[in-house]
């Protein structure tokens, strides 16, 4: 643990305080177990108890994660997690709001919300478990799938250039952008703390293998390069680095200085007053 992280801890918490005890139904060996462990450790390091944290997700194997933790959880609609999280954070700014989900959920059906969450720069964290496939619906290619990945649904590959989440995040205005690996939960836990504490919208892309539909992703253990990314504070340099990278360099890519979106003044209105505004 770094000195900075220790200095911010306000309460003694353990990773187990964040575990709901529900047994994950993920396949044995799924990378998402590592992300769950890292979130539990990261939140314990951060030091805010689970009732001060809300975990928001969409739909997918990865989006089941909130059920396995003791924090408030919202398992919502496919691709809409960030829209819900934005509304929650703006109306309940005292909560630590963390959105989790998959590459299909966040970059495909939810791609629009991803871009605009980066633009809005609301002070919250987004963790994507990227396995470069739709796991829950049995192995369709996702936006980050390699163009030549051969599958039953796309024989010979989809032939499309993969979406570059880090470059898109920086270009769209995210204030903290990083990449991690689910097989390194301690390093991910520290990144989670850093992302939570960095003002504005923080995005962590986690390489999280789907061993069932992409067993070759076992090799990611050997491919990842810890500390392969250098921290940039210049957006153009960060985007250039993200585009030049092979997708396996880990660490923080970008830390920006944009002020987070301001919290709107609370509007107290009764249901009758709201209904009256919409009356025809």
Ligand X SMILES: Cc1ncc(C[n+]2csc(CCOP(=O)(O)OP(=O)(O)O)c2C)c(N)n1
Binding residues for ligand SF4 (CB under 6 A): 26-27, 30, 32, 61, 131, 135-136, 210-213
Q: Binding of ligand X at residue 89 (CB under 6 A)?
A: no
User: Which C-beta is closer to ligand X: that of 142 or that of 249?
Assistant: 142
For the CB of residue 60, give the shortest distance to ligand X in the complex, in Å: 3
Choose which of 40, 96, 103, 217 interacts with ligand X (CB under 6 A). Answer: 103
User: Which C-beta is closer to ligand X: that of 175 or that of 208?
Assistant: 208
Q: Binding of ligand X at residue 59 (CB under 6 A)?
A: yes
User: Which C-beta is closer to ligand SF4: that of 133 or that of 241?
Assistant: 133
Greatest alpha-carbon span in the chain: 63
CA distances (Å), origin 215, targets 159, 161, 212, 218: 21, 22, 6, 6
- For 262, counting Cβ atoms within 10 Å of its Cβ (0-12 exposed, 13-18 middle, 19+ buried), the class is exposed
Q: How far is residue 205's CA from residue 210's CA, in Å, rounded to a whole number?
A: 15
CA-based radius of gyration for the chain: 19
Q: What is the dihedral of CA 199, 79, 32, 253, to 10 degrees?
A: -40
114-133 positions binding ligand X, by CB under 6 A:
129, 131, 133
User: Which C-beta is closer to ligand X: that of 132 or that of 184?
Assistant: 132
Residue 232 pairs in a beta bridge with: 254
Q: How far is residue 273's CA from residue 276's CA, in Å, rounded to a whole number?
A: 5
For the CB of residue 104, give the shortest distance to ligand X in the complex, in Å: 3
User: Which C-beta is closer to ligand SF4: that of 32 or that of 105?
Assistant: 32
Instruction: Yes or no: say if 162 and 141 are a contact pair by the CB < 8 Å rule.
Output: no
Choose which of 40, 96, 105, 232 interacts with ligand X (CB under 6 A). Answer: 105
Q: Binding of ligand X at residue 190 (CB under 6 A)?
A: no
Q: Which two tokens stand for residue 131?
A: 């396995």
For the CB of residue 246, give the shortest distance to ligand SF4 in the complex, in Å: 22
HSE-up (13 A, CA, CB side) for residue 155: 0
Name the residue with tokens 């933790």.
Answer: 69
Q: Binding of ligand X at residue 99 (CB under 6 A)?
A: no
Tell me the residue number closest to ligand SF4, measured at CB.
135
Residues contributing to the site for ligand X (CB under 6 A): 59-62, 78, 101-105, 129, 131, 133-137, 142, 210
């Amino acid at each position: 643990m770094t000195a900075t992280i220790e200095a911010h801890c306000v309460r003694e918490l353990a990773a187990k305080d964040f575990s709901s005890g529900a047994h994950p139904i993920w396949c044995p060996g799924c990378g998402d177990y590592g992300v769950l462990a890292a979130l539990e450790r990261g939140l314990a390091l951060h030091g805010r108890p689970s009732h001060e944290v809300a975990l928001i997700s969409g739909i997918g194997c990865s989006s089941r994660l909130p059920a396995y933790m003791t924090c408030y959880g919202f398992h919502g609609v496919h691709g809409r997690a960030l829209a819900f999280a934005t509304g929650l954070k703006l109306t309940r700014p005292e909560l630590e709001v963390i959105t989790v989900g998959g590459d299909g959920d966040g970059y495909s059906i939810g791609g629009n919300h991803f871009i605009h969450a980066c633009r809005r720069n609301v002070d919250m964290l987004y963790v994507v478990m990227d396995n470069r496939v739709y796991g829950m619906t049995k192995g369709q290619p996702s936006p980050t799938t390699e163009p030549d990945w051969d599958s039953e649904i796309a024989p010979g590959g989809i032939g499309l250039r993969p979406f570059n989440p880090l470059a898109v995040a920086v270009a769209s205005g995210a204030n903290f952008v990083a990449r991690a690996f689910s097989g390194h939960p301690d390093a991910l836990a520290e990144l989670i703390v850093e992302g939570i504490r960095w003002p504005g919208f923080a995005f962590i892309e986690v390489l999280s293998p789907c061993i069932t539909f992409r067993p070759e992703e076992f090799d990611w253990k050997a491919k990842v390069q810890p500390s392969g990314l250098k921290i940039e504070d210049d957006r153009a340099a960060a985007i250039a680095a993200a585009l030049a990278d092979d997708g396996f360099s880990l660490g923080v890519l970008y830390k920006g200085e944009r002020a987070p979106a301001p919290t709107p003044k609370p509007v107290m209105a009764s249901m009758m007053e709201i209904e009256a505004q919409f009356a025809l």
